[in-house]
Amino acid sequence: MPPIPQGAAGPSNPSLNRAMSTASSLSGTSLARSGTSIGSVNARRKGSLATVDARKPPYTKAFVDEYRARMKGDPDPEAQFQFARYLIEAAKKLGEEVSREDPKSGRKYRDLLLAESLKLIKKLATQSEEPLSDAQFFLADLYGTGQLGLQGDPEKAYGLYLQASKQNHPAATYRTAVCNELGAGTRKEPNRAVLFFRKAASLGDTTAMYKLGMILLEGKLAQPRNAREGVHWLRRAASQADETNPHALHELGMLHENPPTSSAQYIQLDQSLSKDLFTQAAQLGYAPSQLKLGTCYEYGNLTCPVDPRRSIAWYTKAAEKGNAEAELALSGWYLTGSEGVLKQSDSESYLWARKAANKGLAKAEYAVGYYTEQGIGTNADLETAKKWYMRAAAQENKRAMQRLTELKKLGAKSGKGARPTREQARKECVVM
Sequence ranges of the domains in the chain:
1-142, 322-429
Using the CB atoms, write b or e for 411-430: b if 16+ within 10 Å.
eeebeeeeebeeeebbebbb
β-sheet bridge partners, residue 53: 37
Q: What is the pLDDT of residue 27?
A: 37
Comparing C-alpha atoms, which of 298, 299, 302 is closest to residue 310?
298
Q: Reduce the DSSP state of residue 9 to 3 states and report it.
A: coil
Q: Is the pTM of this model over 0.95?
A: no
Tell me the chain's radius of gyration from C-alpha atoms: 27
- 3-state class (DSSP) for residue 325: helix
Question: CA 32 to CA 38: how far, in whole Å?
Answer: 7
Q: At what angle do helices 324-336 and 362-374 cross, to 10 degrees?
A: 30
Q: Which of 271, 269, 270, 295 is nearest to 282 (CA)?
A: 295
**Which amino acid would we find at residue 213?**
G
Residue type, 292: K
Instruction: Provide the H-helix boundaries in 284-411.
Output: 287-299, 308-320, 324-336, 346-358, 362-374, 382-394, 398-410
List the chain pLDDT tens, one digit each, 432 residues: 333 233 333 333 444 444 444 544 443 333 333 344 555 544 444 445 555 566 678 999 999 999 999 999 899 999 999 999 999 999 999 988 888 888 898 999 999 999 999 999 999 999 878 899 999 999 999 999 998 889 999 999 999 999 999 999 999 999 999 999 999 999 999 999 999 999 999 999 999 999 999 999 999 999 999 999 999 999 999 999 999 999 999 999 999 999 998 888 899 999 999 999 999 999 999 999 999 999 999 999 999 999 999 999 999 999 999 999 999 999 999 998 999 999 999 999 999 999 999 999 999 999 999 999 999 999 999 999 999 999 999 999 999 999 999 999 887 566 555 665 556 655 665 444
Cα 401 from chain centroid?
34
Q: Are 342 and 307 in contact (CB under 8 A)?
A: no
Reduce the DSSP state of residue 375 to 3 states and report it. coil
Tell me, what amino acid is at 338?
Answer: S
Question: Which pLDDT score, from 0 to 100, does residue 15 have?
Answer: 43
In this structure, are residues 148 and 142 in contact, taking their beta carbons and an 8 Å threshold? Answer: yes
CA distance 165 to 199: 9
Residue 24, burial from CB neighbour count under 10 angstroms (0-12, 13-18, 19+): middle
Looking at CATH, the fold of the domain delimited by 322-429 is given as 1.25.40
